[in-house]
Structure 1
């Protein structure tokens, strides 16, 4: 198994007017940092966006699902595999999952909380009864429970984790055996600068309005802001490999997919109203053997717009990384970056010099990922 090895991912990304992640009032989430109000996107929102992105790159059985409707999903698989009537499959699925002693929700078929599982794991549970489903369905409740009591239902959820569960973990308070320690820690995204909440006043016209009628068919407001965000996540490679059964190649694949999906994903709140999807202006990866390091302190003093915010933000990040490395005597195993800054723009020379000193010459994103994989593979080989 690999020893201590952490992969930090630092991203600077500008989002136009948007309401990416709403609070309980329907407004963009915010936080006060460094004495200034900042735009915020919760880690939960970006975790889900990341997970949904990399789910699009793999077959359905290799994906993960988070739901309260576990009984219903299992029943669907039993019907698919055995052609059993749905009501009988629901009863059989409920009896199977009783083996887990999951707390029940308000609806009899729901669990009390969202359960995160691999689709292949639920297929395995369904397969436990597929050969005798019709016979089991004919038994009364007492005999059915006796027949199912020794089936390894919990074991099916304890092995063969998909990437989503291996990365983000699973917490089941009343069944510790099902817990999976997360390999990823993800910070809330924060704007590098102070932001102001704004409101879009809109009217919608009824296409069937009569000539004598005036006014709008609907009037309302949508809150929004715009921000250059600092995003940070770290992957504990040893934990990731352990969650994947010690398979380091699978862990390397999972790391690569995570970096790709974390960089490319964006939460979808109000996306039809704002079309806010952008790409990062900077993605930097740092491989460390000591501990993860969040560089949000680069923005404790809010960036002030001179000729935009983006370039000043990445310079601040690069300077913070270089200063922390010097002050603490850090010697990271590897650092690399992909960014969109080029010569010819105002302040470009200063920006490029800061980024190159901190992370080296910019490389295409595909090369960033392949270089990261090669570095981690070399470290694992050296660790033996």
Structure 2
């Protein structure tokens, strides 16, 4: 039997008398429990928001997007398209044209990205689910239509029920500004058929048109801006991405859903880890209770120390008694805090106890989203153990060198 561990356990759970040391021990453990719960709950909520934003983007974006590393457009005939289509797991293939243009509706003007999409665009996205007004179609009875982002529609003051078209102005390729600016622009018009809503940065940026309309407007000819691929639900997207990247070489980017909005997801991950380290720092401050607790326990147990020494217990093993005491407080507190934190997250996922302020029935969620990730729980628990070790080691080391005649290293 490990005698120092047995004695430390007795000191922790034995409550024959209630004194200030017992109270401080309880406060120390409570601080560890609350700190661990806070880390797990807050980080899980941030995971939930990240997953929610990813879900929004996944409804609008393809599984993989191929674009040139240099220049805005490229000729698809310069790559082996058939080889890409033949990659196992690739379900849909689409060529799109994107370019910025100036929109004008009545007296309102607004710059937006015109995205020309093929007829199979609804097949590999959930654009129909994103519509908040109107019906999705880009051409009907020989008339060109557009699906506007909600932000674009709001800025222009345009709507599906309005009769006036949206006018589009694009600089002509190779033309310099002349005394008559009208000659330097390609102009066209189309009618709104629907309005979609995803996230503000997309809603206020994109309008969808047919690929034929976009090619003629931008004079792109056979060139395209990107190739969008839809993958089978059971396919290994990472492996397919590597395979296609090896086919295309370094002249092209092959981006997954997250990489298509790299800045957004990197920012959210940075915020998550910043919050994590702030909470860990608070836990470090809370561990100061443990330092005081072990110091007072060391002083209170002087008689026990003398008895143990007279029984032949070395200074090294006596020190381990108090070191194990601190570790037990950290371990038990971290374990309870982890269980409670996961339990609170489960309650929120199951019953949606805490609602989002200002959320209405029209919003996709009404309560704080939560996603539990095992690695985050493990990191939180390891952080508690490391902090507990450091907070236990220092007071034992200090008290050993000042209050025991014998000097040994722990």
> Shorter-chain-normalised TM-score: which range?
under 0.3
Tell me the TM-score normalized by structure 1.
0.19
Query: Comparing both structures, which one devotes a greater share of its residues to helix?
Result: 2
Q: Which protein shows a greater Rg?
A: 2
Tell me the TM-score normalized by structure 2.
0.19
